[in-house]
Amino acid sequence: MAEIFPVVFLPSGRRGEFAAGTPLLEAARQLGVDIDSVCGGRGLCGRCQIHCMTGNFPKHNMTASIDHLSAFTETERRFEERKGALSAGRRLSCHALIEGPLLIDVPPESQVHRQVVRKSAVARDIDLDLDFHLHFVTVSAATLDEGGSDLSRLKQALADQWGLENLTYDTSVLAQIHAALVEGEGDVTAAIFRGDPQPRIGAVWPGLVDHVYGIAMDIGSTTVALHLTDLTTGEVVVSNGAMNPQIRFGEDLMSRVSYVLMHPEGTAEMTSEIRSTVNQLITEAAAEAGIETGHIIEMAVAGNPIMHHLFLGIDPSPLGSAPFELAIDQAVIMPARELGLKICPGGRLYLPPCIAGHVGADTTSVILSEQPYKSEVITLIVDIGTNAEIVLGNQHKLLACSSPTGPAFEGAQLSCGQRATAGAIERVRIDRVTLGVRYRVIGSELWSDDPDFAESVADLSITGICGSGIIEAIAEMYLAGVLTADGVIRAALAETSDRVIPDGRTFAFELISGEIPVRITQNDVRQIQLAKAALYAGVKLLMDRFPVETIDRIKIAGAFGSNIDVKYAMVLGLIPDCGLDQVVSVGNAASTGVRIALLNAAARAELESVVQNVEKIETATEADFQQYFVDAMAIPHKTDPFSQLFQVVEKPAEVRAASTSGSRGGRRGRRKRTD
Amino acid sequence: MAEIFPVVFLPSGRRGEFAAGTPLLEAARQLGVDIDSVCGGRGLCGRCQIHCMTGNFPKHNMTASIDHLSAFTETERRFEERKGALSAGRRLSCHALIEGPLLIDVPPESQVHRQVVRKSAVARDIDLDLDFHLHFVTVSAATLDEGGSDLSRLKQALADQWGLENLTYDTSVLAQIHAALVEGEGDVTAAIFRGDPQPRIGAVWPGLVDHVYGIAMDIGSTTVALHLTDLTTGEVVVSNGAMNPQIRFGEDLMSRVSYVLMHPEGTAEMTSEIRSTVNQLITEAAAEAGIETGHIIEMAVAGNPIMHHLFLGIDPSPLGSAPFELAIDQAVIMPARELGLKICPGGRLYLPPCIAGHVGADTTSVILSEQPYKSEVITLIVDIGTNAEIVLGNQHKLLACSSPTGPAFEGAQLSCGQRATAGAIERVRIDRVTLGVRYRVIGSELWSDDPDFAESVADLSITGICGSGIIEAIAEMYLAGVLTADGVIRAALAETSDRVIPDGRTFAFELISGEIPVRITQNDVRQIQLAKAALYAGVKLLMDRFPVETIDRIKIAGAFGSNIDVKYAMVLGLIPDCGLDQVVSVGNAASTGVRIALLNAAARAELESVVQNVEKIETATEADFQQYFVDAMAIPHKTDPFSQLFQVVEKPAEVRAASTSGSRGGRRGRRKRTD
């Protein structure tokens, strides 16, 4: 009889007794310890690396040593030749045999369910819980006597070598197996998707494949963003983006629906356009990463309901009028090739669930990212794009709506507006007395009054102002007394300041003069007022319906949210009162959510369960929404906390005299717009 | 309490007691009586019609009467208006309520699992056992308050109105539901496919759809045949066929494999060609039948392994050389749209299993059609196309092989050969003394010596001879002494008959002289010898391997088999000895088999189970096959039963003198070919 030794695995602390000569990987398997392996114990993939501790460990009641493992093998030496030396204490657990008491640490990169730090502005961990696994197998050669087929021999090998029984297959693998067997000389890697009742062979590649990829994508009305992700590590390898080509059919959602209503082939046209762009982005990203598109085997895609339907080839026109009926609200999982997506033919596409006609897979992705359903704290999430997606609630209740802010926050439809790209004004300060302007532009770290500013922007062309810039400009105009609470540029100031200049029958405020002047016109102010009123009215509606009087925490998502100074958002009344330290920008939360959906099958299930209980509020048909919208047009007069945050200056005497005399007693007393 | 009455259903004889007022359909359901219904009891589809018997029925211990049903309803009257009057005693069982003792006959057309007589040369019944069912539902209108989606409302309606729970869906229905709901004003018909664990919504159409269609198809190397079938009745509605467009890549299978080996895109090219042709045939057939292709929801396709692989887009080149490895041997079921087939987007494609590299879904379809596995009798089935598929065995054991006969039996590669179309010579008689020729052509019922023959073929152009014609011609040439047992045209006869004429260094026999002469050349005889030797050698190999000395029954399948006179096939030695009354032509058995697979899910399962035990014999690498082939080149000298069937004439004296003097002692003593 072989001697028996204790073995403890960390971090799980699982412990067992094993006969001398047992491979460590085998011991781990028996204890249910989470160690990865793709090559099936052949010392090829290196995924099963462990760290062997040496010393006396009273807590575990053992004296452990790396010498209690069998000698370093020729296979491990060959692995080091190919992939680089193993660090001290490291062994391939498939080749190290137990020969004494052992304390084994399984490093995170060897765990199947490891955590990954994502590369983005807001660092957060995403657990890997993929719904497939890679299996390397050696398939016996076909003979005349045996009969059968390539598929049956592959299935037999997967059964013999990995204990995988009862497998079904994606039809696309039929065209792959033979070539893979020939090229790999019998060695192939199969991707096996989880499945109930039958797991499924989704792809077969020649030789050992230990890195495969996924794509997380957010299809917005205006832009499409794609993240090519290494599913082995969870890391984003390449990010890529493009304009949504459907823009030529209409800038906003409703004009695209109108296009469909007026063109019988409209859905097919727009579906074809977006899928082409997505394929182009996939091809480019794969080329940049130096990988084959055939190694991309999962995709997760977020988008508002109209983008979601058009991507799937479903007529979106029912979403354009009451009752705003979705074709499907549950999550969609399907072969990606059904949409003609050029990834691995057996690869899968996942779309998170939608909630209602205006509350789609983009909003549910935000919910997955920010998880308001896990906290007691009442959280407001606003995701600002061409529409604002708004979610309010906590672990007991969640409400959601979508509010038509239009594209002003993205810099569109403004006289000097532009996207948030290099050369756009993004920060503005206006002197309370002189009305002198300081600003910063994207691409320079310096303010415009810095002596080195001119040099720092020498290569940039300053041509306009982006969404976050105009919010600051309008808030500063208000704080400097240029703007009334109703959003009117004070005409009287034209007499004392050359920055306030006539513009047709109204006035404009000039930020930059010269050849390409940048001005905020009265109409620009109106556009921002309309947008912020829509946003605030949506928030107010959700607060009413919850019902709740105050918000504990506010999360601003989206590119706009990443750039904005939240103080200014509060000055303008985009968001309700909340302690400033409780207002955070969470970056592109829809993208984060869809990345989580890509990497974590359990999170998908959790989301699908959570959204069943999200209450949707339909802004388009709520009478209250119209009233809140009108009420929210004005710029709120707040003494607190803004008096502490901003220098409150005396307004010029003329201006004070010219100002309207009505009551402005805080939020409740906000005046209706009368012009 | 309501009164209770006995009700008996025929033909099942099931009996139950029911409260007055119970609808007949409901009573049938409770007893498990097989009555169809698509509209769910609304009196729309008329599928649930029953015949009510009147009289005294001692066997059932009742006096029954149609008056024991409730009065004819307004709904039934409207049904008669739309679909024509119900015959006497007929009622819609969904609307007739029990009001007394009843004896109810369920006519075949109202049974879900009814039998259908197929329209073809060989009449046989096919049971209907479809793997889907149609359900008519009324879906509630969407409202703003309810939320949900078109899909969720449809699922709810199917649950409420048909008790269908736990449904999944084909992704294609997402694009169908809304339009169907609008067009049908909430009334739609859903096709629900059986599924384990979840049945699946495969299609949604507006309004009531009570006829849907399927396609049974046989893809041969040379021709493609399609049968558009009404799945409600099982009847073939339209048959359609075309040449296999892959012919331009090579006439026979091996030249197509060679094409793939020499052209990297060869598989894709040939796959694209055949799918285009199939779509063309589908479109034409649907147009001829006056139906929408969207109402075609199932397809079953047979073909040899190379046709099977190319149709699926799988590289067939491994099938071209040992070990002749299939990509897949099990049956394939997949969405038809994955192959770009233009039927209902959620429709399914079924391909019967293959057995080995040369024994494919065509052979297994023949097995399903002829069911040799159900009998004690040892049956030989030969399906003659460009290859001959051969099956031998009984309920205890089945063997199968494929033998490369080449296209000579189809009239190809012969000097005057042609397809079996109008104007082709199909019957030949040669006078034993004068060598005078009588013949018949396709398109006329008369022999050429009939006074009215010339008139009957006035519209035909007699340009050649088809496969069955050349078999008769060569057999008659042998019987008339024109041909030696070695297949040599006797040169000496040229001196006494102007029908035997020089043809280069050999001689030809002229069937028709004139402007377009039809002659059998020495090379034509050689081609037929090669083909029949290949066929016979395959049969012999299977008999050896079984092992069995004699065959109980022979079935000849394929178009060639339908036309051939089996006596002549025996004269030439195409098939082994067997009582002539036990040799039958079974028509296009592969097409019959694939029609069974289309209509009967249980038959599919049975076939898949049977083929697992079919032993494949590989002719290409069996040394014995080569020997049998060489041995089978000669024309067998048989005294029995042919002496009784054919007039045995004295050969001309010269011929007797010129004949070779070697032994011809029957089949065992067949001489090797020496020329």
Query: Nearest CA to CA, how far is B141 from chain A (Å)?
Result: 10
Residues B401-450 have pLDDT tens digits of: 988 887 788 777 788 887 777 788 999 999 988 999 999 998 889 999 99
Specify the pLDDT at position A531: 92
Residues A612-621 have pLDDT tens digits of: 999 988 887 8
Which ipTM did the prediction report?
Answer: 0.77
- For residue B237, pLDDT over 50 is answered with yes
**Predicted confidence band at B638 (pLDDT cuts at 50, 70, 90)?**
low
DSSP per position, A163-178 = ---S-EE-GGGGGTHH
Closest Cβ opposite residue A338 in set B148, B171, B196 = B171
**Predicted confidence band at B644 (pLDDT cuts at 50, 70, 90)?**
low
Residues A584 and A558: their CA atoms lie apart, in Å, by: 12
**Predicted confidence band at B659 (pLDDT cuts at 50, 70, 90)?**
very low
Q: Which amino acid is at B428?
A: V
Q: Are A144 and B332 in contact (CB < 8 Å)?
A: no
Strand partners, B218: B225, B302
- For residue A603, pLDDT over 50 is answered with yes
A461 or A434: which leads in pLDDT: A434
Average pLDDT over residues A551-573: 85
Calculate the CA A472 to chain-centre distance: 26
Residues B452-481 have pLDDT tens digits of: 999 998 877 787 888 889 999 999 999 899
Closest Cβ opposite residue A329 in set B149, B171, B324 = B149
Average pLDDT over residues A457-473: 85
Specify the pLDDT at position B650: 42
**Chains A–B, number of C-beta pairs less than 8 Å apart:** 114
Average pLDDT over residues A312-332: 93
- For residue A251, pLDDT over 80 is answered with no
Residues A37-77 have pLDDT tens digits of: 777 777 877 888 999 988 888 888 899 999 999 999 998 99
Residues A362-403 have pLDDT tens digits of: 999 999 999 999 999 999 999 987 788 999 999 999 999 988
- For residue B314, pLDDT over 50 is answered with yes
Residues A142 and A461: their CA atoms lie apart, in Å, by: 67
B211 or A2: which leads in pLDDT: B211
Residues B606 and B415: their CA atoms lie apart, in Å, by: 45
Token readout for A308 is 């979601």
For helices B174-183 and B150-162, what crossing angle results, to 10°?
A: 70
Residues A218 and A220: their CA atoms lie apart, in Å, by: 6
A352 cis-preceded (ω within 30 degrees of 0): no
Specify the pLDDT at position A113: 59
Instruction: Give the residue on A whose Cα is nearest the Cα of B618.
Output: A144
Q: Are B177 and A151 in contact (CB < 8 Å)?
A: no
Task: Please name the residues in contact with A181: beta carbons below 8 A apart, sequence gap of 6 or more.
Answer: A139, A150, A154, A188, A206
Residues B1 and B519: their CA atoms lie apart, in Å, by: 89
Residues of A in contact with B616 (CB under 8 A): 147
Specify the pLDDT at position B1: 63
Residues A140-174 have pLDDT tens digits of: 988 877 768 999 999 999 999 999 999 999 999 99
Specify the pLDDT at position B36: 80
**Predicted confidence band at B660 (pLDDT cuts at 50, 70, 90)?**
very low
Token readout for B136 is 């008519």
**Predicted confidence band at A114 (pLDDT cuts at 50, 70, 90)?**
low
Task: Please name the residues in contact with B328: beta carbons below 8 A apart, sequence gap of 6 or more.
Answer: A149, A150, A151, A152, A174, B314, B354
Specify the pLDDT at position B13: 81
**Predicted confidence band at A578 (pLDDT cuts at 50, 70, 90)?**
confident
Residues A171-200 have pLDDT tens digits of: 999 999 999 999 999 999 999 998 877 899
Specify the pLDDT at position A342: 95
Residues of B in contact with A149 (CB under 8 A): 325-330, 354
**Total residues belonging to chain B:** 675
* 3 state SS of B374: helix
Average pLDDT over residues B375-399: 92
Tell me the percentage of chain B whose pLDDT exceeds 90. Answer: 57
Task: Please name the residues in contact with A97: beta carbons below 8 A apart, sequence gap of 6 or more.
Answer: A20, A21, A22, A23, A24, A69, A70
> What's A365's DSSP letter?
H
What is the sign, positive or negative, of the torsion defined by CA atoms of B407, B413, B417, B419? positive
Tell me what percent of chain B is helix, strand and coil, each rounded to the nearest 5. Answer: 35, 25, 40
Asked whether A599 and A118 are in contact (CB, 8 A), the reply is no
Q: Are B150 and A328 in contact (CB < 8 Å)?
A: yes
Residues B327 and A169: their CA atoms lie apart, in Å, by: 12
Q: Across chain B, what does the average pLDDT equal?
A: 86
DSSP per position, B52-117 = E--EEEGGGTEEE-GGGBPPPPHHHHHHHHHH-PPPTTEEETTTPBB-S-EEEE--GGG-TT-EEE
What are chain B's domains? 4-110 (3.10.20.30), 127-206 (3.10.20.880), 213-351 (3.30.420.480), 367-406+527-593+612-658 (3.30.420), 408-521 (no CATH)
Residues A266-311 have pLDDT tens digits of: 999 999 999 999 999 999 999 999 999 999 999 999 999 999 999 9
Q: What is the 3-state secondary structure (H, E, C) of A460-491?
A: CCCCEECHHHHHHHHHHHHHCCCECCCCCECH
Distances (CA, A) of B344 to B172, B205, B219: 9, 10, 21
Closest CA to A520 of A607, A379, A408: A408
For helices B266-289 and B305-312, what crossing angle results, to 10°?
A: 90
- For residue A516, pLDDT over 80 is answered with no
Task: Please name the residues in contact with A15: beta carbons below 8 A apart, sequence gap of 6 or more.
Answer: A6, A7, A8, A9, A31, A60
Closest CA to A360 of A414, A319, A417: A319
Average pLDDT over residues B201-225: 93
Which residues from B are below 8 Å from A when comparing CB atoms?
142-144, 147-152, 171, 174-175, 177-179, 196-197, 312-315, 318, 322-330, 332, 334, 337-338, 354-356, 616, 618, 621
DSSP per position, A605-617 = HHHHHHHTTEEE-
The pTM is what?
0.79
Token readout for A515 is 């050849």
Specify the pLDDT at position B523: 93
Disruptive mutation site among B156, B174, B351 for chain A (greatest number of A CBs within 10 Å):
B174
For residue B89, count other CB atoms closer than 10 A to its CB: 13
Closest Cβ opposite residue B618 in set A144, A312, A322 = A144
Q: Are A621 and B148 in contact (CB < 8 Å)?
A: no
- For residue A671, pLDDT over 60 is answered with no
Disruptive mutation site among B309, B314, B354, B355 for chain A (greatest number of A CBs within 10 Å):
B314
Residues B260 and A175: their CA atoms lie apart, in Å, by: 14
Average pLDDT over residues A439-461: 89
> What's B483's DSSP letter?
B
Q: What is the 3-state secondary structure (H, E, C) of B312-345?
A: HCCCCHHHHCCCCCECCCCCEEEEHHHHCCCCCC
Q: Are A150 and B355 in contact (CB < 8 Å)?
A: no
Q: Are B149 and A328 in contact (CB < 8 Å)?
A: yes
Provide the H-helix boundaries in A313-457.
Answer: 361-370, 453-456
| Burial A36-66, CB ≥16 within 10 A → b, else e | bbbbbbbbbbbbbbbbbbeeeeeebebebbb
Asked whether B293 and B282 are in contact (CB, 8 A), the reply is yes
Specify the pLDDT at position A664: 39
Residue with token string 């869906």:
B169
Residues A462 and A514: their CA atoms lie apart, in Å, by: 11
Average pLDDT over residues B113-129: 55
Residue with token string 């059968």:
A148
